């Protein structure tokens, strides 16, 4: 059966904003059928269901994935389909959250929230600080913009040996331990790949300065959770702020809840309301690309895993 190029399936759950985005680009939102070659997948928690849908629908040419990270969908990325992600879509609120965690840690907010006495005077300023960011995607680009007023000296660690606009230094991943020894704030904003999974184990944490802070707004498994707990308890690092955990959600009673100088936020760098609004814009633009009226954004490279 020939495919209807105007039809865009939205599965397994649709939202009025997504349907409107497709319509605004000249497409027709629908449920998936044998004459539909484009699919918007809206559920991050069901990779097996997407895998089955791809097997049942060999006519599919384009699949839009819901989030910037595509690690959950690694098992399907080798299919002969164009996959696009939402990378870059949520960069503003996530970068804002990372900045907030840095500021809160530098001002010793975890301690001040629990103390019932005046305590000692302490602060570490972001102004003129050494900031290291792991990852070079949209979140990092936005974070660099947010850090400009602080005159921070920014080092970016990435896979490719290419400079990143706004960064003072750009290095490849194998240079990470040496760069960690200089950083006041270390921010994880990378995709979860085989190279970054459990990248921050105890040895890597020990490469940081003892008065440095770690922020993770990437994926929980970039850090070895037990090693982070050890590093905080042993004062290997000064503190950490994490919006993602491994496991996630972090169970009640987990030792990490009682670790010193740790801020845990429940993966709220972007809310559902933000995601729907920003993903709708990505969907609008990529629907235009599918209809040969614009350029693709966020095309996934299966070899790199993002």
Containing 273, the helix (H) or strand (E) segment is: helix 272-290
Catalytic pick from 5, 197, 254, 267?
Answer: 267
Ramachandran quadrant class, 103 (left: phi over 0; alpha: psi -120 to 50; beta: rest): alpha
Task: Measure the CA–CA gap between 188 and 203, rounded to whole angstroms.
Answer: 16
Residue 267 bears catalytic tag: yes
CA distance 148 to 126: 10
Of the candidates 31, 172, 248, 293, the residue annotated as catalytic is 248
151 is catalytic: no
User: Cα angle vertex 122, ends 118, 127, to 5°?
Assistant: 145
Q: Catalytic pick from 19, 97, 130, 219?
A: 219
DSSP string, 242-267: ES--SSSSPPTT-GGGG-TTEEE--S
Q: 291 with 30: CB under 8 angstroms?
A: no
**Residue in this structure with the two tokens 């059928």, named with its chain if needed:** 33
Q: Does residue 248 carry a catalytic annotation?
A: yes
- Report the C-alpha gap between 220 and 109 in whole angstroms: 22
Please spell the DSSP secondary structure of 134-176, one letter per residue. Answer: E--SHHHHHHHHHHGGGT-EEEEEESSS---TT-SEEEEGGGH
What is the set of active-site residues?
Answer: 219, 248, 267
């Amino acid at each position: 059966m020939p495919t209807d190029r105007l039809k865009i399936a939205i599965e397994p759950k649709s939202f009025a904003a997504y349907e409107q985005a497709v319509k605004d680009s000249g497409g027709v939102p629908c449920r998936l059928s044998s004459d539909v070659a484009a699919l918007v997948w809206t559920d991050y928690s069901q990779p097996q269901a997407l895998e089955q849908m791809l097997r049942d629908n060999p006519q599919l040419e384009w699949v839009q994935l819901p989030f910037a990270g595509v690690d959950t969908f690694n098992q399907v990325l080798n299919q002969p389909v164009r996959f696009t992600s939402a990378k870059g879509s949520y960069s503003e609120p996530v970068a804002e959250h990372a900045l907030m965690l840095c500021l809160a840690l530098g001002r010793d907010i975890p301690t001040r929230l629990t103390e019932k006495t005046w305590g000692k005077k302490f602060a570490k300023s972001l102004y003129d600080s050494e900031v290291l960011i792991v990852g070079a995607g949209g979140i990092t680009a936005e974070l660099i913009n947010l850090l400009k007023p602080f005159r921070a000296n920014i080092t970016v660690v990435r896979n490719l040996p290419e400079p990143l606009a706004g960064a003072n230094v750009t290095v490849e991943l194998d240079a990470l331990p040496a760069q960690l020894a200089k950083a006041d704030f270390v921010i994880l904003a990378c995709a979860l790949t085989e190279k970054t999974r459990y990248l921050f184990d105890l040895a890597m944490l020990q490469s940081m300065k003892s008065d440095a802070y770690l922020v993770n707004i990437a994926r929980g498994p970039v850090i070895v959770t037990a090693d982070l707990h050890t590093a905080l308890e042993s004062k290997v690092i000064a503190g950490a702020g994490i919006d993602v955990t491994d496991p996630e959600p972090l169970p009640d009673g987990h030792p990490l809840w009682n670790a010193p100088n740790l801020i845990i936020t429940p993966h709220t760098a972007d809310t559902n309301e933000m995601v729907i609004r920003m993903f709708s814009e990505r969907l609008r633009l990529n629907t235009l690309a599918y209809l040969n009226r614009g350029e693709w954004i966020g095309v996934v490279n299966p070899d790199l895993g993002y």
